[in-house]
Structure formats: C-alpha cells, structure tokens
Structure 1
Amino acid sequence: MSSIKDLIYFDYDKAKSLNSQLNGGIISELTRAMEEETGLSTEIGFDIKVLKGSVGGTDKGKTFKTEKIELYHELLNEIEKSLFEKKILTDINDEFDNGGIPFNDFLKKVPDFTYIKSTGWSSFEDFERFKHIMDNFNEIQRLIFASVLENNPEVIKQKEQINDLRKEIRSSNKSNKTSELRKLNAIEKNFDKTIETEAGAVFLDETFIDRVKTFLNTFSANRLNFRLAPFDVFNDFQILANLKSEYLVNGDFENVIYTYGSRPNIKLSVFGIITSCPQKTDVRVDLNDEYLGYEDEDLKDEEIFVKAFRGVFSSFEGFEKFFFVPTYPKISVSPIAIYREVKFE
C-alpha cells in the first residue's frame, strides 16, 4: 500500500547516515548539485529524480525549498522500504493488531524491536513555550479580568495610580528609585486583590514561578517532546521522543501549533529507533554494585571519592524521571520523522 506524507519533523542528517549504511552511498550528480544550491551541503545515498525548470528571483528560493522537501520524502520512503525489506522496521500497530496475541505478550516482544513506526493520538510538549507562558501568566490574567471590570470605580482608580506612578518612575532622574518601586509594587498587589475578589482571577506566586523555571532549566532546558499512543485502549503504552527544533520542516514549533495544534485531533505517525525500553522487572546490571561488600576503610581515598560522586549521579535519576524518561510500559525513540500519513491502494 502506498501513501502520501505531510512531513512535520525530519532528521535529515540521521536519515542520510542511515540510508548510506543501507544502500551503499550511491550519489548522483543531480542530487549533489541540488544540495549545493539549496544549502544541503551533505551527500545522500541514492539517486533522486528532480524536474527543475528555469526560475528567477523569489520563485527560485521557493522552488529550492520545495525540492528540499521532495528530497526528504524520497529519502524517508527509501529508508522505510529498505528497513521493511530487511525486516528491521516494525510497524507497531500492525504487529499488535494482526499478531493475534494478548497485550501483555506483545509487551514482552517490544525489547526485540529496533526501528519502529507507529500511528496514533499524540501531543507536543514545548518546555520553552511553557516557561514563556508562566513568565506572562499574571500579566495575561490582569489583562483579561481587568477588562471585565473596566467600569469598576476601584479598578479605574488603581489603574490610573499604576500608570501615573510608572510614568513618574520612567521620567525621574533619581538614581535610587527604591521607594517609588515599593509604592508601585504595593498598588499592583492591591490591584491584583481587587480583580481576584471581584472577577475570580487567579495569580501565581512570583517566587513559585522562578523556582519552577529553575527546575525546568536544570532538568529540561530547551526540550521539545513528542508523545504518541499507538492504541486507543492500552493508552499507557506510549512512544516518547525528544525533538530538535532545527529539524522541524516548517521552521519552528509555532507553525506546528498553528497547523496541527499542541494536541492534534488527527492521528500522526512517528518513525525512529528505540533508545529506551524499560521492563517490568529491571534486568540491568547496576555499575555501582562493584562497591558492594566493601567498607570505606577497604577502599583507597580516590575510590571513596569516586564512589560518593557516582552515588550523587545515581540519585539524579529520580529527578530525571519527572521529564520524559520513560517508565514501563512506555518506550522512547530517537526520531527520524514525524508526519501525517494518508494511505491509498
């Protein structure tokens, strides 16, 4: 069955490397010339046929962009075809729907999969956008709820006081404006209390906002995550992926939100290699077990130091589980492509 794909995310570098390994790195002059003109200054491992007419000005850049996306589709289709033929790529939905085994038995097979493809309900989680929203949350609340009370005499008076004091602070030549800033802060707090009481606004504590941002900056800086549930019934089985913003086909995540939404109401597909597959019973060897049976007095000073540091790193695992480290039965993949697929005979 053939398909049409609307690409949302495509890791070209990873796809090029994978295709080169699969197909021997055969390079056509046409592809190389096109890559030089479009700025894709790397080589891919298969021959792609591109029909190009003479263009000029703005249309030329648009044509090159179109050709680049055509190149992505050709490369993606070539990789998927090669992996399926070599029985390395598993379609998760097809494997379960047509496998004829209970779900728990299916989960036991998952660790044996390498490259996978799956379609289902999904969501995008942009932590930078989340921090930006938190930064502006209180101001947005003031804008919305104060407008509801625009005829309230108390609100009108407080808004005038705030505006007048802000103008005074901006125009003042005083080097120390501490007293004016304190007065402004007090009036703004009274303003917030008024719209909380009169309109039901809810404000976040500024200290809480700063602490949440510190936590996010420490453990999930610049994270853009993708989450997909292949099955409507067993929705605790999810596929998680961390995305790199430079591989978003339309440039940035805002375009994805405007097109599909942060929680799409159309099923999407993800294709990648499994990078984490937790089991119900952890079968991993704990590398810190090398110190079991030893007391500190049995170790050299440098070994005691190393043991302590490695214990600290191990304790970080608990924090990391808050942010996209999969727990059974979820898995994570290193994504090559995310797209909407339309199949046809």
Structure 2
Amino acid sequence: MQSIKDLIYFDFDKAKSINSQLNGGAISELTRAIEEEGGLSSEIGFDIKILKGKLGESDKERSIRTERIELYHELLNEVEKSLTEKKILNDLNASFEDGGKSFNDFLIDVPSFTYVKATGWCSFEDFERFKRIMANFNEIQRLIFASVLQNNPEAKKFKEQINDLRKELKTKNNNTKELLKLKAIEKNFDKTMVSETGAIFLDEVFIERVETFLNTFTPNRLNFRLAPFDIFNDFQILANLKSKYLVNGDFENIIYTYGSRPNIKLSIVGVITSCPQKDEVRVDLNDEYIGYEESELKEEAVFEKAFRNVFSTFENFEKFFFVPSYPKIAVSPIAIYREVKIK
C-alpha cells in the first residue's frame, strides 16, 4: 500500500545516518543534493536539473525548496521501507489492533521494540509560545476588557490619568515617584475591570517565577504528544522536536495549518528512547553507597555522593516536564506527517 505524505517535521541528519547504516548510502545522490542545496549560486550540485538559465533569486529559492522537500520524501520512504524489510520498524497501530493480544499483553511487548511508527490524535506543546502568552496575558486582558468600560466614569478617569502619566514619563528619565504613581493607578484600573467585567489578571510575581522555572527546565522546548489508541489513551508517545527540522520553517506555520491540537490524525516515525515499565528494572547507580557509613568513605567519595544526590533531586523536578511515566514512551522522531494511504 502506497501513501502520500504531507511532511511536517523531518530530521534529515538522523534519516541520512540510518540510511547509510542500512543501505550503505544507496541513495547518496539524494542526500548529497539536499546537503548542497543551501547556496543560491550556480554551483548548487544537483544531479537533477531543476534550475534554468537566468532565474531570479526568488525563483531559485522556490525551485530549491520544492526539490528539497521532494528529496526529503524520497529519503523518508527509503528509510521506512528498509526498516520494515529488516523487521526493525513496528507499526504500533497494527501491532495492537491486528495482533490479537490484550492491551496489557501489548504493553509487555513494547520494551522489545526499537523503531516505531504510530498514527493517532496528537498535540504540539511550544513552551516558548506559552511563555510569550504568560508574559503578555495581563496586557491582552486590558485590551479586551477596557473597551467594555468606555462609558464608565471611574474607568475613564483612570485612563486619562494613565495616559497623562505615560506622556510625562516619556520626557522624564528614571522618575521613580511618577512611575510608582502610574503603577498604583493601573492597579486600581485593573480592580475596576475585575469588578465590572469579570476580567482575570495574573500576579506579576507569579508570572516571573513561572518564567524562571520554565527557563531553567524547559528552554526552547517544543514537544509533540500522540495517542495511537482512542480507547487506551493513557498510552502516549512523547517527542521533543528541534525547530530546525520543521519543514515549513517554524512552529507558527504548524499552528496556522494544523493547529496546536490537530483535529485530524498525524503519524510519527522514530526510535524509542525511553520506555518506563510497570516495575522498575533499572539499577540505581547511587546504590553503590548502600551499606557504607559516612565514616567509612574517603573524603572525595563523601563529596561525590552528595553531589550525585543533587542530580537525583533534579531528576524529580524534570519529571514535571515531558519525562514519560508508565505506560507512556518517549521517541526520538525521524519524521512527523499526515499520511493519505492509497489502496
């Protein structure tokens, strides 16, 4: 069965590496073309003749981009085909729905999988976008609800005072007294909006602390979450995406086309990188100190033990953000796309 793919995300470097290992560079001409298409000079290096004599720069860019995406599809199809033929790629939907096993038996098989493909309902979680919304939340509330109070005498008075003070502050540098006065009037204006319109304002200190927390644990984080099964939706695939591999350039383009929570099912292909199990099977490397008293350890061992315990504490913080818990799994994605199958 063949299919048409609308490619959203493609990790070319990972796909090229897999293809090289499986096929010895059987489609090296395609990968070379993709690598060399970055420049816009006549020395582009394409074996496939896509550029005509005297094209303008924008025409060249369009031709290159079109050909690059076509080559991405060729490479992706080759990688999926090779992984399937070597029985390395498991289609999770088919493994469960056509495997004749219960869900619990299916979960027992999952740790033995390496490369997987799955199709289901999904969502994108952009932490940078979340921080932008948080930072501008109160101003957006003021923009929306201030218009409701246009005929409110008290609100009109506050708005006039705020405008006058802002004009003064533009001509006076670092006027602390006027700035504090402005903050106080803005706060009273917010209280009026809350009582008259039901507007909601977040505490500014809370916003700053949330931003600090996110900057510490989730800098530049773009996550993808997919549930392959409609009924057993606690089984999910989690993936961290790299912005440079978004085919359309940035996440805003995904929002405008598919939405942050698409209402059509998408597919993901990748290698499992984390597969928590119901009963912990890992060896805790800090267990080497069990049975030793502090007095029995050398000074450098005491320091190392304390230092490693700090990392264990950080690990618990990280569990709040996209570290999978049973029965979820994490996947390092090769590609994310919408697939239209041709029977």
Same fold (TM over 0.5): yes
Question: How far is the alpha carbon of 1:272 from its aligned partner?
Answer: 0.3
Which portions of structure 1, spanning 4 or more consecutive aligned residues, are displaced by more than 3 angstroms?
26-35, 37-40, 48-51
> Aligned pair 1:197/2:195, yes or no?
yes
Partner of 2:59 in structure 1?
A: 59
SS of equivalent to 2:101: coil
SS of equivalent to 2:4: strand
Runs (5+) with no aligned partner, structure 1: 41-47
Question: How far is the alpha carbon of 1:25 from its aligned partner?
Answer: 1.7
Partner of 1:9 in structure 2?
A: 9
> Aligned pair 1:234/2:250, yes or no?
no
The TM-score with structure 2 as length reference comes to 0.95
| Inter-partner Cα distance in structure 2 for 1:20 and 1:29 | 12
| Inter-partner Cα distance in structure 2 for 1:50 and 1:83 | 26
Partner of 2:114 in structure 1?
A: 114
* Corresponding letter in the other structure for 1:131: K
Partner of 2:256 in structure 1?
A: 258
Q: Which deviates more from structure 2 when the two are superposed, residues 150-159 or residues 128-137? A: 150-159
| Inter-partner Cα distance in structure 1 for 2:201 and 2:180 | 19
Q: 1:39 to 1:80 in 2, by over 3 A?
A: farther
Partner of 2:282 in structure 1?
A: 284
> Aligned pair 1:89/2:89, yes or no?
yes
Q: 1:135 to 1:119 in 2, by over 3 A?
A: same
Q: What is the count of residue pairs matched by the alignment?
A: 336
| Inter-partner Cα distance in structure 2 for 1:50 and 1:95 | 39
Runs (5+) with no aligned partner, structure 2: 41-45
Q: How does 1:1-345 map to 2 (within 5 A)?
A: 1-26=1-26, 32=32, 35-39=35-39, 50=48, 52=50, 54=52, 56-57=55-56, 58-172=58-172, 175-345=173-343
Question: How far is the alpha carbon of 1:50 from its aligned partner?
Answer: 4.1
Question: How far is the alpha carbon of 1:35 from its aligned partner?
Answer: 4.0
| Inter-partner Cα distance in structure 2 for 1:31 and 1:224 | 26
* Corresponding letter in the other structure for 1:129: R
**Does the CA contact (< 8 Å) of 1:38 and 1:68 recur in 2?**
no
* Corresponding letter in the other structure for 1:271: V
Q: 1:130 to 1:287 in 2, by over 3 A?
A: same
**Does the CA contact (< 8 Å) of 2:5 and 2:340 recur in 1?**
yes
**Does the CA contact (< 8 Å) of 1:38 and 1:65 recur in 2?**
no
The percent identity for this pair of structures is: 74
Kindly report the root-mean-square deviation, in angstroms, between the aligned alpha carbons of the 2 structures: 1.6
| Inter-partner Cα distance in structure 2 for 1:176 and 1:251 | 41
Partner of 1:45 in structure 2?
A: none
Question: How far is the alpha carbon of 1:38 from its aligned partner?
Answer: 3.7
Question: How far is the alpha carbon of 1:291 from its aligned partner?
Answer: 0.3
Q: 1:179 to 1:30 in 2, by over 3 A?
A: closer
SS of equivalent to 1:328: coil
**Does the CA contact (< 8 Å) of 1:90 and 1:115 recur in 2?**
yes
**Does the CA contact (< 8 Å) of 2:126 and 2:221 recur in 1?**
yes
The TM-score with structure 1 as length reference comes to 0.94
SS of equivalent to 1:215: helix
* Corresponding letter in the other structure for 1:185: K
Question: How far is the alpha carbon of 1:26 from its aligned partner?
Answer: 3.8
| Inter-partner Cα distance in structure 2 for 1:37 and 1:291 | 54
